[in-house]
Structure 1
Amino acid sequence: MYDRRGINRWVTTGDGLSLAVRESGDPDRPTVVCVHGYPDNSSIWEDVAGHLSERFHVVRYDVRGAGESAKPRGLRAYQLDRLAADLGAVIDAVSPRYPVHLLAHDWGSIQSWHAVTGGLSARIASYTSISGPCLDHAAHWMRSRLRPHPRALRELLSQLVRSGYIGFFHLAPLPELLWRTGFGRRMLDRLEHLGLAGDEKPVRPHRRLPDLLHGLKLYRANMRGRFTAPQHRSTSVPVQVLAPTGDVFVSVPLQTGISCWVDELRVRTVAGGHWIPRGRPGVVADYTARHIDRVGDGQRHLGDSPRQES
């Protein structure tokens, strides 16, 4: 079961919501903030945090609509600007003086990309992204594959097949019925077994119905606008992409074909399925720590560096 007793603090967002935050490790060490995706909550980072907290101050929080955090009803409350502002509020609370290192998965990565390519860039020392591209980058990537070249068309077709569920998620109330009947959760359990590495063991999480239902708003609030009119979003934050080779939702090319948007990019293909933070936590922690070591520990007072704007 999801353990609410592990909550260390509550952070209030700009629109008055409460976010549940969990911390481990020495708070005087560099801070790593972990952002989970859909339909998970911050418990997906438990084993990764166990590895990283030996060297870092590790922060996990339930994003709005998930876990013990507040669950607003309206779609506008789930727009990327709101999600990035939530991340900023968490960073201000757990590391007010120093930049943090960001580690994110799935929709956690999508919203973190929005922050890294926007006004929060000066608050982030490094970013490790797993299975969640920037929506604007993804839209530009898909358009770039609309050319008469066999490889480009194959990559586009492969990703369109993987993304087929997104259209279904917009067909309310059908996805809600799928989750409420339990059939959707059984399908998800089966998908979790696909693409696993040889040493990767699937661990069935306790997925809560409210997380499944409220998280649908992430898709409905953000997808159409970003894909019909994508923005040009770039970043100077050092980025590492961990791309699972067996991911059934996000292809490796979609995650990694972003060098034109990122000044300093490192790509690591990793054997495993979509949920490698749970299936291979030691690997995720090791790559994250290496990336942090390369860019520096982030222990620089914010007053020593100019603030970047979006």
Structure 2
Amino acid sequence: MSDPLLRRISLATGVALDVAIAGDPAKPAIFLLHGFPESHRTWRHQIPELARDYFVVAPDQRGFARSSKPEGVDSYGPGKAAGDLLALADHLGVGRFTLVGHDWGGAIAWMAALQNPQRVARLIIVNAPHPLVFQRALFDDPAQRKASQYITRFRDTTIDQGLVGAGLERFFASTFTRHLVSAVAGEDKAAYLDEWSQPGAMTAMLNWYRASPIVVPAPDAEPERPAWLDAPFPPIVQPTLVIWGMRDFALLPGQLALADLVPDLTIARIEDGGHFVPWEKPEAVTAAMRKWLAAHPVR
């Protein structure tokens, strides 16, 4: 399958990414980062809308779809993907930009905003947990700990051998669709199966979970509590919009306890949206973005 929006871009980080680019490069830049198990198509409804006023850049991140899939779990740590983001901005001649992230893309967005305030001017997070809030919840909130046990399953490398051929259909029908509030069929289903069937794609995507430093205790475990969970944590200095599909079964509403960590915070709750709210409820997501962006011009 081909996408007329996509450009292949080789980065200084050693990977080549397929990148959807739309809009006028002279306009303010907005970068859109997808999560698991998707691609730039996460933003298929937002890209044309945002391109009316912004230079829109939406990469297929390393390991996903037809972008590079370097060997080894260590190649998928969050620092690697954050490095790709900055290298992509450099390649395109973009200095400061607005950053949007969903799911794993949101994890990278939180990190990039914390570490690079000189580059990330504004932050939009869509159903992606703040690293401190999430790790605390995995120790302190039994419901969130239970909901996150899928991470432990994804870290089991023995599952990879079954994620080919008919195994991808089973993954789609069970693991993926149980997190949806909208049905996926036809062209959209075909696009997922095509992306997942690329050589090495499923292992590379799952390696994001395997490389993550997040600790997921077993439901009945009483592990030693990391000291950093109760230590001071740097705040997000950028104006931040958090859009949350409230029917997210993997990331529970407690993840919105962000006020102490994000001083300039706006939360847009989408009550009938699930984890994949950018395309499940695209009009609501796009409207929330555009309203907030207009009210928070880049300084």
Gaps of 5+ in 2: 218-224
Deviation digits for residues 92-114 of structure 1 (CA, Å, limit 9, x no counterpart)? 233534x1111111100011111
Q: Which residue of 1 aligns with 2:112?
A: 115
Aligned equivalents of 1:79, 1:266: Cα separation in 2? 29
SS at match of 1:33: strand
Mapped pair 1:7 → 2:3: no
Work out whether residues 31 and 101 of structure 1, in 8 Å CA contact, stay in contact via their aligned partners in 2: yes
Match of 1:19 among 4, 13, 17: 17
Would you identify which runs of 4 or more consecutive aligned residues in structure 1 move more than 3 Å? 201-205, 223-231
Q: Which residue of 1 aligns with 2:177?
A: 190
Work out whether residues 235 and 262 of structure 1, in 8 Å CA contact, stay in contact via their aligned partners in 2: yes
Read off the aligned partner of 2:212 and give its amino acid letter: N
Q: CA deviation at 1:247?
A: 0.8
**Cα separation, partners in 2 of 1:168 and 1:226, compared to 1, 3 Å:** closer
Greater RCO (CA < 8 Å, at least 6 residues apart): 1
Q: CA deviation at 1:13?
A: 3.6
Aligned equivalents of 1:26, 1:157: Cα separation in 2? 47
Work out whether residues 136 and 233 of structure 1, in 8 Å CA contact, stay in contact via their aligned partners in 2: no
Aligned equivalents of 1:47, 1:65: Cα separation in 2? 23
Q: Which residue of 2 aligns with 1:51?
A: 49
Deviates more, 1:256-265 or 1:208-217: 208-217
Read off the aligned partner of 2:90 and give its amino acid letter: D
Q: CA deviation at 1:134?
A: 2.8
Aligned equivalents of 2:106, 2:155: Cα separation in 1? 21
Work out whether residues 135 and 226 of structure 1, in 8 Å CA contact, stay in contact via their aligned partners in 2: no
Q: Which residue of 2 aligns with 1:274?
A: 275
Q: CA deviation at 1:291?
A: 2.0
Read off the aligned partner of 2:131 and give its amino acid letter: L
**Cα separation, partners in 2 of 1:192 and 1:224, compared to 1, 3 Å:** closer
Aligned equivalents of 1:70, 1:292: Cα separation in 2? 32
Q: CA deviation at 1:222?
A: 0.8
Gaps of 5+ in 1: 147-155, 301-310
Q: CA deviation at 1:202?
A: 4.5
Work out whether residues 152 and 216 of structure 2, in 8 Å CA contact, stay in contact via their aligned partners in 1: no
Aligned equivalents of 1:171, 1:28: Cα separation in 2? 45
Q: Which residue of 1 aligns with 2:222?
A: none
Q: CA deviation at 1:17?
A: 1.2
Q: CA deviation at 1:77?
A: 0.9
TM-score by length of 2: 0.84
Q: CA deviation at 1:131?
A: 1.3
Read off the aligned partner of 2:158 and give its amino acid letter: P
Read off the aligned partner of 2:197 and give its amino acid letter: L
Q: CA deviation at 1:176?
A: 4.4
Aligned equivalents of 1:226, 1:122: Cα separation in 2? 32
Percent sequence identity is 22
How many residue pairs match? The answer is 277
Q: Which residue of 1 aligns with 2:249?
A: 248
Q: Which residue of 2 aligns with 1:236?
A: 237
Deviation digits for residues 9-64 of structure 1 (CA, Å, limit 9, x no counterpart)? 514042x1112222111221111110000110112211111211122211110100
Deviation digits for residues 210-230 of structure 1 (CA, Å, limit 9, x no counterpart)? 433311101110144698755
